[in-house]
Chains A and B, each alone.
Chain A
Amino acid sequence: MTRLSITINGQPHGPTDVRDDLSMNDFLREYIGMTGTKFGCGAAQCLSCAVIVDNADGTSYTSPTCVTSAASFDGKAIRTVEGHAKNGELSVLQKAFIAHFAFQCGYCTAGFLNEGQVLLERLANTPVKRAELEQTIADALDGHLCRCTGYVKYHEAVRDVILADSKRYLVANQ
């Protein structure tokens, strides 16, 4: 057993005693009741279960939750799909996903949303040239699988958010 303390979407949870063989996905869905994080392949290959992990230095990355133990998240701060909207208003990226009809069944959406959000935060710190943007988006979303084949729409939605605030995400005059 491990005593797990974790911050989820800004809210502290725990300490909670969890079995060492409890996956993070089960912890979120069964212990916390946050079912927005999906369980897909169970092998870290579709990334529908990905959540955002926030580093202390302000950077972030996504992590699958299906193959990782809940205990391994002790002391960490994560964000799930439930944490994107603020005060009842969807995030810019969520709105863009809807505007582009980026998802059909929606099973992979939480993972794409988290990955897209991490990309936006990375570009805000380290902008890229406009000429590099398409590849940057493709690289970032690579690994996320969508059985409804919404890849292009996800890509376009992320691109639209970036271009709508190009001063923030792109290198100037490029």
Chain B
Amino acid sequence: MKSKLRFQLMFSVVVVATSMLAGYAVSETASPSLASPDSFASISDTNARSAAIFTELGKVLTHPRCTNCHPAGDRPRQGDESRLHQPPIARGTDGHGLPAMRCSICHGNANFEPGHMPGHPEWHLAPREMAWEGRTIAEICEQLRDPARNGGRKVEDLIHHIGEDTLVGWAWAPGAGRSPAPGTQKQAGALVEAWVKTGAACPAK
């Protein structure tokens, strides 16, 4: 009887510990998949299909890996919980920080894992007009179609920007302690391309 109780107790401990570790692993590394453009082929109305494709892409655009550096204010955010950046820094005139505290002072050419420091040669904030933080997917969609608020790009340019730009690509290889953006950069690029080719329609607000 004692050994049965002991087994049940140990089993319970193992189950709880396993679920805690699994939860930790999911929160640290999980990258939900993205549906492919083909998944939306059954939507016959082109506008509706285009909007649905963008909604799928929205899983990436509203992810903390993207919104943290597309902040609504002058300070970027950090982490999966999108807390304000510490130490306090501001975007400066060129999005690379203030003269005395440039992004590149801490952020090197690549992630520096011993210091949990993300890095890329062009580490900087998206321009103020490209703020996505706190916006709905529909609002971001309208923003991306507006050259005044998308960095002066045609929607066709976004295929390359989201699908191949290496700073954008960091979102899928952010280093330990940060969840990567959903899917892969290639999948995201395919969604942008499909969205553009179907007329770049936006979801209803």
Contacts and interface: CB of A to CB of B under 8 A. Distances in A.
Are A and B associated in one complex? yes
A64 interface: yes
Interface of B: 86-88, 99-102, 105-106, 108-109, 112-117
Contact of B106 (A42, A44, A118): A44
B108 A72 contact: yes
A63 B106 contact: yes
B139 to A, nearest CB: 33
B106 A64 contact: yes
Main secondary structure of the interface of A (DSSP, over half): loop
Contacts of A122: 100
Given A21-B114, A23-B114, A140-B100, A68 B106 contact: yes
Contact of B86 (A43, A53, A140): A43
A63 B105 contact: yes
B77 to A, nearest CB: 15
A16 interface: no
Contact of B108 (A43, A68, A118, A139): A68
5 contacts: A53-B105, A61-B100, A68-B117, A72-B109, A140-B100
Contact of B112 (A62, A63, A68): A68
B106 to A, nearest CB: 5
A143 B106 contact: no
Contacts of A61: 99-100, 102, 105
